[in-house]
Structure 1
């Protein structure tokens, strides 16, 4: 039986990926033959543009890990990345046709398998795309999976997601994912830097998140983060800041069940709510 497609937020657009290729766990084989020369050129141009912006804006751990992706001038084969990734942290990447539901997503992460969308944006979407594509997933997410502490955090998030699903708290935990793995900032010895994939894969938001005076940036606090709604179609108005990846890992060690109970009794906060 075919799995059901997943849409992004409240979008009414049909999902772009071909979910008929997916198995029950939503994974599929990377359809490498589908990529045209234009697709490879789009990936190359995106990689060149984004990597040139990283100095002074991306965290040291990301910059150090980026070469582990391998080739820059065309779309990589997942199996080649996996040879290096398994050796580094025991993780692997798996192809998916697009967004996937919460439980399959959490299950993959809990088993050190990171889902990567295997299609790439069209040339006319070079500057912006709503859905995560292969460039966002590979360039934004995968390098830090070569960092053992961050890789363990992502696995812990997957394990916690399965518990959150059973407790009816997925929305609260999804906000933690959004404000850390997707849009997190870190304060390192030489200033503020980005570590979230949504920032690192966006030319505009990378500069905005780190340098603009407009958004507020506050220290990461679990309850404050879980109460804060977020934007999917604009730059973030609030960013949460950590001092180290180890801090992020340690902060998520306790059982979240009591945290969920406290947060459920508190009002939600708008994405631009001032601390």
Structure 2
């Protein structure tokens, strides 16, 4: 929601307040915290049908590529025959992990995004792409946000990681370190891979909501797959106009949560003293994780 989304995910690189045109969405209806009403009754039968097509395309690819936690949790979104009601979904989600889903007009500023995560409120874009945007869309829509992000909020450890990330973001904005923290979000929440007994699997929302990158990220020999390293991630640039050249692989969601526990202030300081790493670069002595 705060970081650029990649073209290959069906979402072109756009950041709130930037670009050739204003972001799509009714920002006049937003409250001070950028949340708004979902207005579920305004969705048309055609939009519900389009959501179902998007859902079914991705669901058909999950086995052997997505992590088991995601596959188990995606059912909580309810029937794919209609766009979920956020209030109903929030009731189920809150009982599991204390999170709720809130509607937003679209991309929102960093501070507002961090504040919502820190309060265990996940912002989901209210509108759905047009039929002609089935494979390509400029901003993240309700399908990307719901299908890609929300299922793992049912996992207690990942849910705690997201809250910790939001709290860390509020601090990063005061330390002028949002770019470094955005790289962590990009390489975990959006494009993260996880090691499992069955092999590497995807858990990042940008991968899981992509028609093409899901298989590429797990099976292609082309990208570099590197073990999770916080400073390495914060130093590494990322691709916004193609499939990722580098993926970072965690051993567990607990590892991810534990990485957010320390005070990042000295980490930001250390990272700024080191050179940036280009996407796809392999460092001397660095071992890579093989494709499936």
TM alignment of 1:86-101, pairs within 5 A:
86-101=94-109
SS state at 1:203 partner: coil
**What number of residue pairs does the alignment pair up?**
270
Provide the TM-score with structure 1 as the length reference.
0.95
CA apart distance, 1:130: 3.4
Aligned to 2:159: 151
Contact kept, 8 Å, 1:7 with 1:13, in 2: the verdict is no
Residue by residue over 1:15-51, the C-alpha shift from the partner in whole angstroms, topping out at 9 and shown as x without a partner, is 1111111111100000213311221111000111101
Gaps of 5+ in 2: 1-13, 284-292
Gaps of 5+ in 1: 1-5
For 1:212 and 1:28, how far apart are their aligned partners in 2?
40
CA apart distance, 1:132: 0.9
Aligned to 2:169: 161
Aligned to 1:124: 132
SS state at 2:36 partner: coil
Match of 2:38 among 30, 35, 39: 30
Provide the TM-score with structure 2 as the length reference.
0.90
For 2:149 and 2:194, how far apart are their aligned partners in 1?
16
TM alignment of 1:222-261, pairs within 5 A:
222-261=230-269
Aligned to 2:48: 40
Aligned to 2:89: 81
Higher relative contact order (CA 8 A, sep 6+): 2
Contact kept, 8 Å, 2:183 with 2:237, in 1: the verdict is yes
SS state at 1:153 partner: helix
Residue by residue over 1:57-89, the C-alpha shift from the partner in whole angstroms, topping out at 9 and shown as x without a partner, is 000110111111112111010011011000000
**CA-atom RMSD in angstroms:** 1.3
CA apart distance, 1:127: 1.4
For 2:138 and 2:193, how far apart are their aligned partners in 1?
21
Match of 1:183 among 165, 169, 191: 191
